[in-house]
Structure 1
Amino acid sequence: MNVTTQGRRAIEYHYPDEHTVIRCILPPEDERDRHPDESLLKTTYRYNTAGELTEVILPGDETLTFSRDEAGREVLRHSNRGFACEQGWNAASQLVTQRAGFFPEETTWGGLLPSLVREYRYDSAGNVSAVTSREDYGRETRREYRLDRNGHVTAVTASGTGLGYGEGDESYGYDSCGYLKAQSAGRHRISEETDQYAGGHRLKQAGNTQYDYDAAGRMVSRTKHRDGYRPETERFRWDSRDQLTGYCSAQGEQWEYRHDASGRRTEKRCDRKKIRFTYLWDGDSIAEIREYRDDELYSVRHQVFNGFELISQQFSRVRQPHPSVAPQWVTRTNHAVSDPTGRPLMLFNSEGKTVWRPGQTSLWGLALSLPADTDDPDPRGELDAEADPGLLYAGQWRDGESGLCYNRFRYYEPETGMYLVSDPLGLLGGEQTYRYVPNPLGWIDQYGLAGCPRALARAMKRANRNLAKSAGYMNRAWYKFKGSAAHHIVAWDDPRALGARKILEKYGIHIDSAENGIFLKHVDPNSLQPGSYHRVIHTNKYYADVEARLADAAKANGKQGVLDELDAIRDDLLFNRLIY
């Protein structure tokens, strides 16, 4: 047994065998007398020999089972009470179809009764080029994406009966460093401006909004100007570790934030509203959120993730359906369906009925509203407001008070696609230190550190599974442990890797192929992943060394020489030989 303590809370981990992990969350000791019917949150995870999730048993004995094809791709996820999600893949292991809803145990007409059907199309470079979504009541929406040569989305064309108020076509422009310089989405317009960014790529002006920073490059104020109105200024307060400790709205509403020794946010509160939220972490994912109103426990939100993807949520609070009935602790279990990047698309109850869908947002997460005479969100968004998991992109929790999204290490602003502080990794996390990711349709940044393409991780997992099947063993470098991230040996976009990329292109080796990948430790110091840290190898020496070694190998033995040298570099990283 392993116990992780966080303040007054603890999570227990039990390992009955090599393929099973049991996570137990106990209520705080000082609240057990006041809420005696609040139960232990016991979640059981089961994995196969390749480390892939095969079963989750939730508190209340509801079971989710995951079925996979020979390549290890999830093709069916279903509960023992009716919910199911089918997924289809193409030969390149790209998700092409999703069908989610009710799966009856006995039926004469057969199969899944979907409330959600999604279809994905890709271009020759592997980027998402179109998504068609069909939902309940015949609503259908189709979005087509146009990309530039750098893989940035420049236009979104939307059509269909499912479009809500404020939705429609979108357009985006980028500067030479990949930062947004112009955008049009719904009522939100930012025209191209030559002085939009200050030194260090700090955003200083976006439309009618002005941004100010302190000497450490942290955003300290955001001022919105509207014709005929006084400027509205919001203020941000930071500590010496670049952690947000305070926020003051334009109306003077104060919010305070606390963090643990690992830098994870453990509490946020507003004394004026008498609201407080506490967070319990499972590694780098939030396992439980407790909400207090007037110093009394109001609700508990228990979330279960597979990596960065939300798979299930249990929301509990005291309910009294009738004055003649005693109040009791009631729990509702919902299951999530996410897009290829882990962004939640819908939540379903145990029987496969839709209970929540997100409000309409732009490509970069900006909320799209009703016509100009109202600020209310699209009413199609929340069927059950309490079911809202509070997530935008993978690893991002929305803060309603500020409109920002909290990552593990930073805060993201959907209006501009930017972080409020520079990358904690500095240039080791990439040259665009304030940018989110190059393309949110295919990239994720669940920690707020460095973006990661999902295609590379899938390719390595598939290659390892094929290796195990054909040879009876697996490559340690392609095995993903908790706390690790997919790393390109030859970087996909850094200009310092241009020469090495040309060598791969010459011999037809795809940048996202398993041959060009390795899983490395990312942020978790307790990760069992062997080898170097993902965050320390982006150095001039590393890029120069990789290019020189590949060039020599190509000269000596062509494509096979390049493949052999990629394998040798992978071993150097795996066994922490300093080539960086």
Structure 2
Amino acid sequence: YDQADRLVEAQTPEEDEAYSYDGLGNRLSSADYPLWDYNANNQLTGFDETSYSYDDHGNMTAKTVGGTTTTFTYTVDNRLQKMEKDTGEEIGSYVYDPFGRRLWKEVDGTRTYFHYNDEGLAGEYTADGSELKSYGYHPGSSWTTNPLFLRLGDEYYWYVNDHLGTPQQLVAENGSIVWEARYDAFGKAEVVVAAVENNLRFPGQYFDGESGLHYNWHRFYDPSTGRYISADPIGLAGGMNLYAYVGGDPVNAIDPEGLKTYMCTAPLHALGGEGTRSGPDVVGNLLYHQYLCVSEGKGAKVCGGQDQRGQKWYDPISGPGTPSVDSYDWDKCEEVEPEDKCIENCLLTKFGETRPRYGIPFGTDCQEWADKALEECREDCKNAKKQP
């Protein structure tokens, strides 16, 4: 590892790996390809015989390999909707629910439906409702991570996972290995036993055979580059590099969905102060900034709130709202929701949305925004759980 804890070398029985990075975590070289190119937005533009194009929202829209181009189309909320060959032939199409979970995909005219529970992907079904696969997970697992079993019809197969919860083998009840894969450090799998199909990969990821990409709830991960193909939906709150995977340390870190939600208070930015308020740090003093945080893999916290623009004298009374710049502080934040992946993902989406007009009393202040965001996500998730 380098001084930033990024993987620079790995030795395996199959192949040695080596990587170098720039200051923002972009891969500059690998053992196989000595030169990787990027634009000013940290978007990978090419390596070897592969080149990429992007739209104004940071989504990869085209991938060209040796003269053959694949195009990518997205929904209005930047979720991958369709992939096509340059001949116009469709590779795959995808539809999502309001929380960003993929409801179905269609490949070669066959549609597969996906059902979820609080642990993640629970089952796959045909268009007529027949079950194709069902999954179970170890208790306390993160979203679609550390699977316990795969059921195909009346047969159960048991997962053997690594320390991250990534499947290494599937074992039948008689002890025979029916699926096995060998991975490079960034999750590209070589399946060496395939008597049974298994699509679960890195924590929270589902392998799509039609594209080679891994569906990872909010966006797609490309194991061949170790990057996401679209920008982080929560923007810079998730880090300066909107495409990097777990800070370049895939051997030790994971990128599943959040685990807890916190409501935090701090002194007002304009007034300053110590503790959780401007002025006396006592209950009843309303001079405080309020915001939300959710925890992600390896204990990292992502926060979001509402702030004033701070450019005009009238901005604190009524002016454009802007995302606040906040961080988690254990003595200023209180857990308000235990593990609830629906709520955390709803909040992550809200962190990336345009803020309403800020104002006291003519607008939405930071306390109102945080309270409303949490309440809306609670209500949306409550209603979603009522649906059959």
TM-score (norm 2): 0.66
Residues 312-331 of structure 1: matches in 2 within 5 Å? 312-316=148-152, 330-331=153-154
Alpha carbons of 1:385 and 1:348: their partners in 2 closer, same or farther (altered >3 Å)?
A: closer
Q: Look up the match of 2:187.
A: 365
Distance 1:155 1:575 in 2: 39
By how many angstroms is 1:304 displaced? Answer: 1.3
By how many angstroms is 1:355 displaced? Answer: 2.4
Alpha carbons of 1:284 and 1:431: their partners in 2 closer, same or farther (altered >3 Å)?
A: farther
Indicate if the aligned counterparts of 1:486 and 1:520 stay in contact, CA closer than 8 A.
yes
- Determine which of 244, 253, 263 is the counterpart of 2:100: 263
Alpha carbons of 1:520 and 1:437: their partners in 2 closer, same or farther (altered >3 Å)?
A: same
Q: Look up the match of 1:396.
A: 205
Per-residue deviation, residues 261-305 of structure 1 (Å, max 9, x unmatched): 2221101013xx33111001114611111245xxx6675211112
Q: Look up the match of 1:442.
A: 252
By how many angstroms is 1:246 displaced? Answer: 0.7
Q: Look up the match of 1:152.
A: 6
Residue 257 of structure 1 aligns to a residue whose secondary structure is strand
Whether 2:201 is the aligned partner of 1:381: answer no
Whether 2:137 is the aligned partner of 1:305: answer yes
Per-residue deviation, residues 200-231 of structure 1 (Å, max 9, x unmatched): 11111122110001111111100002xxxxx1
Residues 413-492 of structure 1: matches in 2 within 5 Å? 413-438=222-247, 439-447=249-257, 484-485=259-260
Residues 205-244 of structure 1: matches in 2 within 5 Å? 205-225=46-66, 231-244=67-80
Distance 1:266 1:350 in 2: 31
By how many angstroms is 1:540 displaced? Answer: 8.2
- Determine which of 35, 44, 49 is the counterpart of 1:192: 35
By how many angstroms is 1:405 displaced? Answer: 0.6
Indicate if the aligned counterparts of 1:234 and 1:250 stay in contact, CA closer than 8 A.
yes
Q: Look up the match of 1:334.
A: 157
Greater CA radius of gyration, 1 or 2? 1
- The letter for the 2-side match of 1:276 is R
Residues 120-131 of structure 1: matches in 2 within 5 Å? none
Residue 428 of structure 1 aligns to a residue whose secondary structure is helix
Q: Look up the match of 2:90.
A: 253
By how many angstroms is 1:173 displaced? Answer: 1.2
Indicate if the aligned counterparts of 1:408 and 1:446 stay in contact, CA closer than 8 A.
no
- The letter for the 2-side match of 1:241 is D
By how many angstroms is 1:522 displaced? Answer: 4.9
Q: Look up the match of 2:115.
A: 280
Whether 2:19 is the aligned partner of 1:172: answer yes
The alignment-based identity, stated in percent, is: 25
Per-residue deviation, residues 233-261 of structure 1 (Å, max 9, x unmatched): 00110011011111113562342111112
Provide the aligned length of Structure 1 versus Structure 2.
285
- Determine which of 296, 320, 333 is the counterpart of 1:573: 333
Distance 1:243 1:402 in 2: 15
Residues 492-511 of structure 1: matches in 2 within 5 Å? none
Alpha carbons of 1:418 and 1:570: their partners in 2 closer, same or farther (altered >3 Å)?
A: same
Alpha carbons of 1:381 and 1:175: their partners in 2 closer, same or farther (altered >3 Å)?
A: farther
Distance 2:205 2:91 in 1: 22
Per-residue deviation, residues 154-191 of structure 1 (Å, max 9, x unmatched): 111224xxxxxxx211111111111111112xxxx221
Distance 2:230 2:304 in 1: 20
- Higher helix proportion: 1
The runs of 5 or more residues in structure 2 that have no matched partner are 265-291, 306-322, 337-365, 371-388
Alpha carbons of 1:314 and 1:361: their partners in 2 closer, same or farther (altered >3 Å)?
A: closer
Residue 204 of structure 1 aligns to a residue whose secondary structure is strand
Q: Look up the match of 1:454.
A: none
- The letter for the 2-side match of 1:570 is W
Distance 1:263 1:575 in 2: 24
- The letter for the 2-side match of 1:157 is Q
CA RMSD of aligned residues (A): 3.1
Alpha carbons of 1:174 and 1:486: their partners in 2 closer, same or farther (altered >3 Å)?
A: farther
By how many angstroms is 1:385 displaced? Answer: 2.7
Q: Which of 1 and 2 has higher RCO (CA within 8 Å, sep 6+)?
A: 2
Q: Look up the match of 1:289.
A: 124
- Determine which of 217, 225, 231 is the counterpart of 1:408: 217
Residues 95-134 of structure 1: matches in 2 within 5 Å? none
Q: Look up the match of 2:44.
A: 203
Distance 1:436 1:338 in 2: 20
Distance 1:247 1:204 in 2: 19
- The letter for the 2-side match of 1:333 is Y
Alpha carbons of 1:284 and 1:520: their partners in 2 closer, same or farther (altered >3 Å)?
A: farther
Alpha carbons of 1:305 and 1:534: their partners in 2 closer, same or farther (altered >3 Å)?
A: farther
Whether 2:203 is the aligned partner of 1:349: answer no
- The letter for the 2-side match of 1:404 is L
Residue 202 of structure 2 aligns to a residue whose secondary structure is coil
Residue 427 of structure 1 aligns to a residue whose secondary structure is helix
- The letter for the 2-side match of 1:441 is V
The runs of 5 or more residues in structure 1 that have no matched partner are 1-146, 160-166, 226-230, 317-329, 369-377, 448-482, 490-518, 524-532, 547-568
Distance 1:276 1:213 in 2: 28
TM-score (norm 1): 0.45
Distance 2:83 2:326 in 1: 40
- The letter for the 1-side match of 2:216 is N
Per-residue deviation, residues 500-554 of structure 1 (Å, max 9, x unmatched): xxxxxxxxxxxxxxxxxxx96459xxxxxxxxx84328x98546xx8xxxxxxxx
Indicate if the aligned counterparts of 1:269 and 1:276 stay in contact, CA closer than 8 A.
yes
Distance 2:126 2:187 in 1: 25
Distance 1:158 1:486 in 2: 39
Residue 243 of structure 2 aligns to a residue whose secondary structure is coil
Residue 484 of structure 1 aligns to a residue whose secondary structure is coil
Indicate if the aligned counterparts of 1:249 and 1:402 stay in contact, CA closer than 8 A.
no
Distance 2:169 2:126 in 1: 23
